[in-house]
Amino acid sequence: MSTPILTVILPAKDAGPYIGTTLTTLGRQFAVQERMRLVMIDDGSTDDTRTQVEHFARDLADVRIVSNGEPVGLAAARNQGLDLVDTEFFCFVDGDDWMHPGRLEDLVATMSRLECDFVRTDHITDTDGRRRLVRAPFGRRGQVLSPREAILPADETTMVDYPYAWAGMFHRRVLDDGLAHFPPGLFTAEDRPWIWRLHLGASSFAVVDAPPILYRRGVSTSLTQVFDRRQLDFLPAFAQALDAVEQDPDADRFRPKIVTTTLSVCAYHLFRARAMATADRTALRRGIRDLLRSIPGDELDASLSRLSDRRRRVLARLVRESRVS
């Protein structure tokens, strides 16, 4: 009997309508099922997620289910899964994603051949049946490089702007080096400091082609679809990412990129703010103002110049206020 070589970490909350598809496609990943272990974290679901998992995962060779009585959030649930990894490779999948047959076996073979710390792939978004290919923003495919080489330039979309944990696979070296866990306590944007620490701290990576993974957009339970205070977690998330860069020996090299990205995301949330409750909108503006105060003025000005006119306009007042002591 084969031993597992890959752990798939699947956190889910109230994913009953979708998770059957996820699990069915997981059953089509390896010619020898015993090569894969599934660790499923039921994060306080109030629907039939657990029943669906027990039904659709019955044909998988190795399944471990962790049940949280109360939801702890995606970051903490993923960390629970990471604590159970004892295989050479691991990856993530969410409860509303699915993938083409053989994707994971293909990625294990690629990682074994390249001998790198992690690989990243393209993905496909599915919005009510309309599908779109999203390319990983890096031009060199199948080449093992330092992850630092995929951070810049500051004024373009790069791999640190592609934070999707499920769009790739990882060697357990990443876990042993303390780079795999997500910041606790964040209910959204948990992947932003995570992706920065990964690219700053890992030794090698590659962007590779593989059978696709599909990401379902527009799910009502997704935090991208809500406008309450949980969305404000992007503020401490980016504060952590800024801090990770400041602690790096090459902080001067990478600071323009993290500041530019931070401003872009702040502008995005300000555009959406009209859909928020008044108190949440006030907290958003206050939080952005405080975050901007932590950025040196010359770096702030340089990064603002990289933004579109529309983004600069929406940030203008908070930038002025951040400079008032």
Which is more confidently placed, 241 or 225?
241
Of 224, 241, 257, which closes a domain? Answer: 224
Residue 229 in this model has a pLDDT that exceeds 80: no
Q: Is residue 57 part of a domain?
A: yes
Q: For residue 219, what pLDDT band results from cuts at 50, 70 and 90?
A: low
Q: How far is CA 10 from CA 51, 214, 224, in A?
A: 15, 15, 19
Contacts of 103 (CB under 8 A, 6+ apart): 29, 210, 211, 212, 213
> What pLDDT sits at residue 224?
47
Residues 295 and 194 in one domain: no
Q: What pLDDT does residue 2 have? A: 75
Q: Are residues 197 and 130 in the same domain?
A: yes
Q: Is the pLDDT of residue 226 over 60?
A: no
Considering the domain architecture, whether residues 230 and 294 belong to the same structural domain is answered as: yes
Count other C-beta atoms under 10 Å from residue 312's C-beta: 15
- pLDDT, mean of residues 23-32: 96
Q: Kindly tell me if the per-residue pLDDT of 233 is higher than 70.
A: yes
Please say if the pLDDT value at position 223 is more than 60. Answer: no
Q: Range of 120's domain?
A: 6-224
* Residue 240, pLDDT above cutoff 60: yes
In this structure, the answer to whether residues 237 and 111 fall within a common structural domain is: no
Report the alpha-carbon distance of residue 116 to residue 119 in Å, rounded. 7
Q: Are residues 187 and 299 in the same domain?
A: no
Residues 19, 108 within the same domain:
yes
Is residue 78 within 8 A of residue 91, CB to CB? The reply is no
The predicted structure's pLDDT at residue 83: 98
What mean pLDDT is reported for the chain?
A: 94
CATH number of the domain bearing residue 99: 3.90.550.10
Query: Do 258 and 219 fall into the same domain?
Result: no
Over range 275-289, report the average pLDDT.
93
90 and 172 share a domain?
yes
pTM exceeds 0.75, yes or no? yes
User: In the structure, what pLDDT confidence band is assigned to residue 227 with cuts at 50, 70 and 90?
Assistant: low
